[in-house]
Amino acid sequence: MISQKRIKDLGKSLNINITESHSFDRTDISHYYYIFNEYKLKGFIEAHSFDDSI
pLDDT digits (tens, 9 = 90+) for 27-54: 888 988 998 899 889 888 888 888 887 7
Which residues form the domain of 7?
A: 2-41
| pTM beyond 0.85, yes or no | no
pLDDT band at 13 (very low <50, low <70, confident <90, very high): low
The total domain count for the chain is: 1
CA angle (46, 44, 10) in 5-degree steps: 165
Would 14 be classed as within a structural domain?
yes
CB half-sphere exposure, 5, CA atoms < 13 A: 8
